[in-house]
Amino acid sequence: MKEIKKITCIGAGYVGGPTMSVIAQKNPNVIVTVVDLNQARIDAWNDADLENLPVYEPGLDAVVADARGRNLFFSTDVEKAIDEADMIFISVNTPTKTYGKGKGQAADLKYIELCARQIAAVAKSDKIVVEKSTLPVRTAAALKSILDNTGNGVNFHILSNPEFLAEGTAIVDLHNPDRVLIGGEDSAAIEALVQVYEAWVPRERILTTNLWSSELSKLVANAFLAQRVSSINAISELCEVTGANVDEVSRAIGYDSRIGSKFLKASVGFGGSCFQKDILNLVYIARSYGLTAVADYWEQVIILNDHQKARFAENIIQTMYNTVNGKNIAFLGWAFKKDTNDTRESAAIYVADHLLEEEAHIVVYDPKVPAEQIYKDLDYLGTRSSEDNRRLVTVVNDPYEALQGAHAVAILTEWDEFRTYDWAKIREEMKKPAFVFDGRKLLKRDQLTSIGFDYYAIGE
Ligand code: NAD
Ligand code: UGA
């Protein structure tokens, strides 16, 4: 088996950056180069001030500090990095298609194909090509066909090695994964990748499968996780009308070891770049094989999630006497979950959009998301002009500024710091009655109501 001395990763995003940093940290004898077309992103990865890394993840700065400049490099020279590598990870984005056949459902594979063509054009020696991006089942066949037909007569072995890290806990997840999954056909290529991971992952947690099982397992893992969130969110609505409390129900069912306690936290709806995209992709694949019942079953997970976001916004409007026109609503949190600066598909975007349609004035505070990202997210929806988004939405750097004079507070992200605020002082400075709409069940009802808030939480 060939020893891997140089690894290249194409794509320096939320997955490529942290994953390769840990691979480099744990394999000091392997040179790891992460490349991207985005110069600003690469500059940020190379920034001497680790506060400026493009991805915020607890513990990432320490890992980068360990390896960067030693055996971890970030560059925009894609061709050189491809040429020199023994093993190439493809970790580019695979968003939902926004055009043509499969629009709004299928994964857009144009970035993946571009990578394959570039690898084929540049490679002068045999390469192991690893799919790190999340891909539709059977993508490896398309990759192989491109590589074999346009290459320079070199051998390519394709492996599927999907990533299971969650944002906000990426470094813990990478250091101590439940499992590493490697799918492939060539046992020597599989073994080469197993050795990279064996530097820190116990062998029994490295699973090997055929290519198609590995590709499909990634979509299925995300579908099952998202399904649990939609399941408990469906029950949250039932709790609200029956007097049950969704946290108590979660706890009661989670004690059953067959069900398990994780991923049963009711919320304003799941966000993030992957759950929706990957389920839509699964639905699209099932439909394309004519499996209508299968497709409809999984589509319901998305439908329920959209319902949950809309329901949260509607509840705010109804509770505030059926009008939010001109009222100040303070948004605590914009990221799709705590401990990340990622806002992709965040529930906050859709809740805000719904309230802005009613001409609410929203003041946003998020500890990690900058103002330009918030406006970009709203502008992307195209519901109203960017001038109107700027007229109706203010972004502040101080939470107390957001809450000053607010008619209501909506908690969209479960940042720990929100718990530590002086809620009595906040109430004093808000309009009365002072409403709190807790989309994360973060605060304590008893505490808030004793201060005098009108407190509403999902599933209570
Ligand atoms: P991202 O958008 O943060 O990063 C992708 C990067 O690839 C971008 O910086 C982009 O500039 C770069 N890129 C695109 N085409 C390129 C090309 N031809 N050459 C060089 N660079 C190119 O995306 P991400 O969140 O890191 O996700 C990447 C993949 O990993 C997706 O398939 C996603 O589904 C999957 N995934 C993501 C997560 C997550 O938590 N974000 C977790 C597991 C799996
Ligand atoms: C998810 C998976 O957990 C990862 O295993 C996977 O690698 C990744 O998607 C991916 O493929 O991108 P991520 O989206 O980063 O990770 O974060 P999660 O912790 O899964 O949370 C997703 C969303 O569900 C968040 O909005 C979160 O707030 C919400 N959620 C999660 C709930 O509302 N309730 C829960 O009990 C759990």
CATH number at residue 134: 3.40.50.720
Domain stop point among 162, 180, 209:
209
Distance between Cα 89 and ligand 1 center (Å): 11
Domain count, the chain: 2
Distances (CA, A) of 99 to 8, 95, 117: 31, 11, 22
Determine if ligand 2 sits within 6 Å of the CB of residue 459: no
| CB-CB contact of 57 with 340 (8 Å) | yes
Same domain, 386 and 258: yes
Q: Indicate if 337 and 409 belong to the same structural domain.
A: yes
State yes or no: is 218 an active-site residue.
yes
Establish whether 239 is a catalytic residue.
no
CA dihedral sign of residues 171, 180, 111, 302: negative
Does 1 map to a domain?
Answer: no
Question: Is 127 marked active-site?
Answer: no
From 274, 345, 414, 460, the catalytic residue? 274
Instruction: State the pTM of this model.
Output: 0.95
**Nearest protein CA to atom 28 of ligand 2, as residue:** 337
Residue nearest to atom 11 of ligand 1 (CA): 38
Residue 389 lies in a domain: yes
The span from the CA of 140 to the CA of 244, in Å, is 48
**In terms of C-beta density within 10 A (0-12 exposed, 13-18 middle, 19 or more buried), how is residue 143 classed?**
buried
Residues 162, 226, single domain; the answer is no
Angstrom CA distances, 109 to 90, 143, 157, 273, stand at 12, 10, 19, 15
Full pLDDT tens readout for the chain, 460 residues: 678 999 999 999 999 999 999 999 999 999 999 999 999 999 999 999 999 999 999 999 999 999 999 999 999 999 999 999 999 999 999 999 999 999 999 999 999 999 999 999 999 999 999 999 999 999 999 999 999 987 778 999 999 999 999 999 999 999 999 999 999 999 999 999 999 999 999 999 999 999 999 999 999 999 999 999 999 999 999 999 999 999 999 999 999 999 999 999 999 999 999 999 999 999 999 999 999 999 999 999 999 999 999 999 999 999 999 999 999 999 999 999 999 999 999 999 999 999 999 999 999 999 999 999 999 999 999 999 999 999 999 999 999 999 999 999 999 999 999 999 999 999 999 999 999 999 999 999 999 999 999 999 999 9
Regarding whether 56 and 43 lie in a shared domain, the answer is yes
Find out whether 258 and 80 touch, Cβ atoms under 8 Å.
no
CB 233 within 8 A of CB 269: yes
Domain of 317, in residue numbers? 213-460
CA distance 368 to 56: 8
